[in-house]
Amino acid sequence: MEQFTFYDMYYDAIGQLNDEEAGKFIKRICNYALYDAEDNPSKDDMANVMWEAIFPLLEKATEIEKTGKIPYYLNRRMQHFSFRLSYANMIKAMTNNKNAGVYIKAMCGYMFYGKIQNELPPELQGAFNIFKKTFDISKARSESGKKGGKVKKKSITLVKIREDFPEITGKLHENNPVLDGVDLNDLYKFIQENAEVRQLNMYGIVEKYKQNKA
């Protein structure tokens, strides 16, 4: 394929890894989705756990895309952008996996949140600038693809919680079973009104919220 759909769930997984493992992880994703290369499990246990978490989605979405169909039902549920073969080739050319990890984190931060969390070193900033215009086009297409009728007022999302409470560590994907039955609007209010819980990670906060509701 010339591209595949990159979902925010992949970034959630990458964000749990250090830069070195994140670089290996994005190369592993590209090997599967674009290069049809043999999969090589990581020597890092966390990286393998994260792979197990995203692989069902990666496998399903990639197989659908290989038929020439766009997985609209998935795209409506999760943030996403088109990850082009040229992006993968750039990352593949980075023999330093740590640099590849820094690059993919910057790329995802820009695509999903509109900003790069940390300043890039000159050699990576140059590589980023090369593709910035195509990143912007891809973002615009993803946003227009979400439209299709009257825009409804959005409820609180996990992205909103991350943005408004950056001190909270850990990430949860919206499909994580721990969130079953959790009203994110109510969870947001709970975090807002109980500053002490922000010292916990997201898993701990959700558990604390459930205990409070019990």
Q: Are residues 61 and 127 in the same domain?
A: yes
State whether residue 169 is helix, strand or coil.
strand
Q: Are residues 202 and 103 in the same domain?
A: no
Q: For 157-177, write each residue's pLDDT tens digit.
A: 888 888 888 889 887 887 788
Q: Are residues 81 and 126 in the same domain?
A: yes
Q: For 21-73, write each residue's pLDDT tens digit.
A: 999 999 999 999 999 888 889 999 999 999 999 999 999 988 888 877 766 66
pTM over 0.85: no
Q: Are residues 98 and 192 in the same domain?
A: no
Q: Are residues 63 and 40 in the same domain?
A: yes
Q: Are residues 127 and 199 in the same domain?
A: no
Q: Are residues 69 and 30 in the same domain?
A: yes
pLDDT at 12 over 60: yes
Q: Are residues 96 and 173 in the same domain?
A: no
State whether residue 71 is helix, strand or coil.
coil
Is the model more confident about 9 or about 147? 9
**Mean pLDDT for the stretch of residues 72-82:** 79
Q: How many domains are there within the chain? A: 2
Look at residues 126, 146, 166 and tell me which one is the last residue of a structural domain: 146
Range of the domain at 129: 3-146
Q: Are residues 182 and 138 in the same domain?
A: no
Query: Would 49 be classed as within a structural domain?
Result: yes
Q: Are residues 16 and 81 in the same domain?
A: yes
Is the model more confident about 116 or about 121? 121
State the pLDDT confidence band at 179, using cuts at 50, 70 and 90: confident
